Amino acid sequence: MDYVRAFIVGGIICIIVQILMEKTKLMPGRIMVILVTTGIILGAFGIYEPLVKFAGAGATVPLTGFGNVLWKGMKTAIDNEGFMGLFKGGFTSCAVGVSSALVFGYIASLVFQPKMKG
């Protein structure tokens, strides 16, 4: 049942993104910013954590989950270190994910030799 809930919630997020891509003139980068910001806002209002408990990877893998992780890291750092936590909490909480994305992206670029579209 966990897989079904993850599939449904992740699918709903993907449907929303697809609608934004097809029905608006928003560029993909702006849509990604909207997703991360939405995750931050939903996390700040306490809405995203119950969604994560319900859907698991269906809520943590999309970019909204990245925004939620940023929020949780910033909140924890602000609680522990005060104002300076605002600047370092997000980096601390997301360091492993961002680092692995860079490393594996680099490895993939070596293996598949991407070409620029012209």
Confidence grade of residue 118 (pLDDT, cut at 50, 70, 90): low
Residue with tokens 């994910």: 97
45 vs 47: CA distance, rounded Å: 6
CB-based burial label for 37 (10 Å; 0-12, 13-18, 19+): middle
Please count the CA atoms within 13 angstroms of the CA of 52 that sit on its side-chain side. Answer: 18
pLDDT digits (tens, 9 = 90+) for 71-107: 999 999 999 989 888 888 888 888 888 899 899 999 9
Closest to 73 (Cα-Cα) out of 36, 38, 33, 40:
40
Q: What is the pTM of this model?
A: 0.78
